A and B are shown apart, each in its own frame.
Chain A
Amino acid sequence: MNFGKFIERLAQLIPVLLGVLVIVFSMMALTPGDPVDIMIGDQPISAEQEANLRHDMGLDLPPVERFVKFLGNAITGDFGLSFFHRRPVLDVIAERLPATIELSLFSLILALLTSIPLGVLAALKKNTIFDRVSTVVSLFGVSLPGFWFGILLLMLFAVHLQILPVSGRIDYAYEVDAVTHLLLIDSLIAGRLDTFANVLSHLFLPALTLGLPMAAILMRVTRTSMLEVMSQDYIVFAEAKGISRTSILIRHALKNALIPTVTVAALETGSLLGGNMIVESVFGWPGLGRLVVESIFVRNYPLVQAAVLFYAVTYVFLNFFADILYTVLNPRVKL
């Protein structure tokens, strides 16, 4: 890949991010609701104390001035104090981020590991009972709302069978030294298989809930694209040459068929972050998604602004990453 092109693509991200900042700031500023009122709730406060609180939060300034100040600080990496935690928002976000990353990555892996083999199999066994059943199952996968499916899983595995925990990331009896802050990896680094198992048991249901719609979509995409590739001339040619079926499948067909899967997977990984908001609430998962939802409700402007910017950066980079992956999978595609 051309390094100049790479830098050019990176530079294109700047206006996108700037746009995101403007949109997030304006949306939060235009949404009715006053953080000071929400914070005080039903408790008494004098007008003077209310004004002081407003001043502390920087809400006594007009919106334009607030935006300029916010932008100036954001460029230096300062997103201000969370109104309600009364600490820098980046600290609050950093505490919650590993849980979200771990859940998203695990869901992604779970989805990829199931969807690609099943998609290929469905393509190879086109119009058989397996193909039809998988179509129906994937339709369910896409259609089941996360909050409902999650609660259903909870009732089955946690309440009735009692083999999986209801909420949280790890049981309190287990401790693991934080290296990556991803507990699965940290427990492996520490060589603690019992801890690993405990973390996995906590991770499994949320990851299944989060990963299922993604797996369903990826499976359909892989199936379609595999069918298309398998009807290409070069596959017929390869078959005529007498190359083994496994070799054709893996070396010739799958590599090309995966290009759309990669695109969709990259986009869907972005939506995993969105889906997290619901799944994290259902499973009491201490991640960023839940924090953002709570923050939106209480108009915690600084935190929402920083978190949405983080989502935007992640999304943009995932697309960027997908573009680069194309060039690897198909050298004819250039950045």
Chain B
Amino acid sequence: MRDHHITFLTTAALAVSVLITTPIIPTQAGELRVGYTEDALTLDPANHRKRTTQTIIRNMYDGLVTRDPNMNVVPQAAESWKAINATTYEVILQKGITFHDGSPMTSEDVKYTFDRLTKDGAVGGQTSPRKSLVGPLKEVQIVDDRTVRFILSDPWPQFMAFMTLHEVVSKKFAEKVGADGMSKSVMGSGPYKLVKWNKGDSVIMERFDGYYGGSQDLKPVGKACSETVIFKTIPENASRVAALLSGDVHIINDLPPQSVKQVEDNANTRVMTVNGTRSTFMALNTQKKPFNDVRVRRAVAHSINRQLIVDKILGGKATLINGILGPDAFGKNKNLPAYEFDIAKSKALLAEAGYPNGLDVTLDVTGKDKDAGEAIASLLTKAGIRTKVVVGESSTLTSRFRTKGKPIDGEMYLTSWGNGSLDPVGIFVPTHRTNDRGNSSGYSNPAVDKLLDAANTETDRAKRADLYSQAEAIVNKDLPKVYLWVAQDLYGVSNRLSGWQPSSDGRINLHDACVK
């Protein structure tokens, strides 16, 4: 009996150890895996407001226009577009585009797509949360099978830039499956078809052999390179890095700066970077003492050695900014003076403002920015601005600082604002216009408001750029925020990967990506 027990236990132990150490199936050739921070919230292009969801969806759905590596707007499913006047845009579709079921894409599908985005209750009784991303779009008119006209109620020069954020759906399919079906199945015209969505875990796609080739402006034009693409959800930074190092995935997004060396030192992996679009700054509460005095705000700017922080904490992978706009943004004023690191100047400014013995302030940061916040605080403290760092949660800090006109509860807030459209309207207006939703300094300057409003409807590109440039020169002087840097987006990739470039808009387009 005893022997039987032992035999059974031994066999069981052996079985378990054999089972759990069964080698992992190696990645198949032509199978490309992406370790991604988040899963898609839905597969319906009209029913989310999340850039990460769009990144996944965009590999299965094409839009009318997209962006090239330099972030210029280029046609995708469109063959061409033109502005007929300030409120009318005409778009002509490429010939021979089909959805994954082989049915042709026509003007009807385009009109249906945008009606779904703009009409109340059009997404199964819900209104698309993306409605505000088409601006003042009033209606879509069908001219012929391949030509549509977009009619706006007011001029909106950034219309085509925002059109990069939308994907064309199949009218026939959407009507057949309804909103519920659209949320979990895909009938796009993109380079990949949906195979399966394991919610919370992965989205599996396979190459669409009937693909029309994609944007004529982005070479190579043709079918996708990889046979299978898998977006694997790995939210934890260290685990995502581990997945890359073990060869389980070929691309990871959001590589933490502290893991750059680890990925670079590994023989099979490398780091890829691209200019980001997120401006990091320290908002100063201009509504009350001490930061209602511009001299104190300038003293803060002179106390921070930004390059040192970028080198030590961001691994050197960031570009310094002297205004709110990042280096690639439209209308960027390239001649803004920098507030050089100069403690003597800072102390003099403080004394002039009535703080010869320095002052005590609090800097609010989120957990993500804690390291940079502590570095800034120690530099400020050295310059006599004795700073206490308080780490808070992003949503809480947002409600304390982005108050849309109500009193701000706090003094300094290290935060950032993304600008995926690369148009100042997406970042300059919300963060600097009086009482706007991202104005975390309580800043109000009628001259800036006037310039921003004028730029919003100016259709002449050069004039528009100039208006933003003027506004940026003013805020650089007023300094409601200490403008810090635009960090590069960091990706870890396998050396087996080729043909892929990271993109400033944060998308991971896998059309040209191959795995050896």
Tell me if B22 is interfacial: C-beta within 8 Å of chain A: yes
Taking CB atoms, residues of chain B closer than 8 Å to A320 are: none
Given A159-B246, A165-B248, CB of A151 within 8 Å of CB of B20: no
Q: How far is the CB of A158 from chain B (nearest CB, A)?
A: 5
Binds A, one of B208-216, B414-422, B477-485, B494-502: B414-422
Tell me if B399 is interfacial: C-beta within 8 Å of chain A: yes
Tell me if A43 is interfacial: C-beta within 8 Å of chain B: yes
| A158 lies within 8 A of B129 (CB) | no
Residue in B22, B23, B232, B438 whose beta carbon sits within 8 Å of that of A168 in the complex: B232
Tell me if B47 is interfacial: C-beta within 8 Å of chain A: yes
Residue in A159, A163, A286 whose beta carbon sits within 8 Å of that of B21 in the complex: A163
Tell me if B175 is interfacial: C-beta within 8 Å of chain A: no
Given A284-B233, A297-B394, CB of A42 within 8 Å of CB of B24: no
Q: How far is the CB of A28 from chain B (nearest CB, A)?
A: 11
Of chain B, the residue at the smallest CB distance from A84 is B41
4 nearest A-B pairs in the assembled complex, by CB-CB distance: A33-B395, A286-B200, A286-B201, A45-B132
**Beta-carbon contacts under 8 Å, B418-446 to A:** 418-420, 425-427, 429-430, 437-438
**Beta-carbon contacts under 8 Å, B18-37 to A:** 18-25, 28, 35
- B binding-site residues for A, Cβ under 8 Å: 16, 18-25, 28, 35, 38-39, 41-42, 44, 47-51, 120, 123, 126-127, 129, 131-133, 180, 183, 198-202, 204, 230, 232-236, 238-239, 242-243, 245-248, 278, 393-396, 398-400, 402, 417-420, 425-427, 429-430, 437-438
Tell me if A60 is interfacial: C-beta within 8 Å of chain B: no
Pick the most buried of A53, A159, A198: most chain B CB atoms within 10 A of its CB. Answer: A159
Taking CB atoms, residues of chain A closer than 8 Å to B246 are: 158-159, 162, 166
Q: Would you list 26 pairs from A and B whose C-beta atoms are within 8 A, ordered by A residue? A: A32-B396, A32-B399, A34-B399, A37-B398, A40-B132, A42-B430, A44-B425, A56-B127, A84-B41, A96-B199, A99-B201, A159-B245, A165-B24, A166-B234, A166-B242, A166-B248, A167-B233, A168-B232, A172-B230, A173-B28, A197-B18, A201-B19, A201-B20, A284-B235, A287-B200, A290-B235
Sample of 6 more A-B contacts, CB < 8 Å, known A42-B417, A52-B127: A34-B395, A40-B132, A85-B183, A86-B129, A197-B22, A286-B39
| B242 lies within 8 A of A155 (CB) | yes
Bound together, the chains give a CA A87 to CA B367 distance in angstroms of 30
Given A96-B200, A281-B235, A291-B200, CB of A46 within 8 Å of CB of B132: yes
**Beta-carbon contacts under 8 Å, A253-301 to B:** 281-284, 286-287, 290-291, 294, 297-299
Q: How far is the CB of B19 from chain A (nearest CB, A)?
A: 4
Pick the most buried of A34, A95, A165, A167: most chain B CB atoms within 10 A of its CB. Answer: A167
Pick the most buried of B41, B120, B394, B417: most chain A CB atoms within 10 A of its CB. Answer: B41
Tell me if A31 is interfacial: C-beta within 8 Å of chain B: yes
Taking CB atoms, residues of chain A closer than 8 Å to B200 are: 95-96, 99, 286-287, 290-291
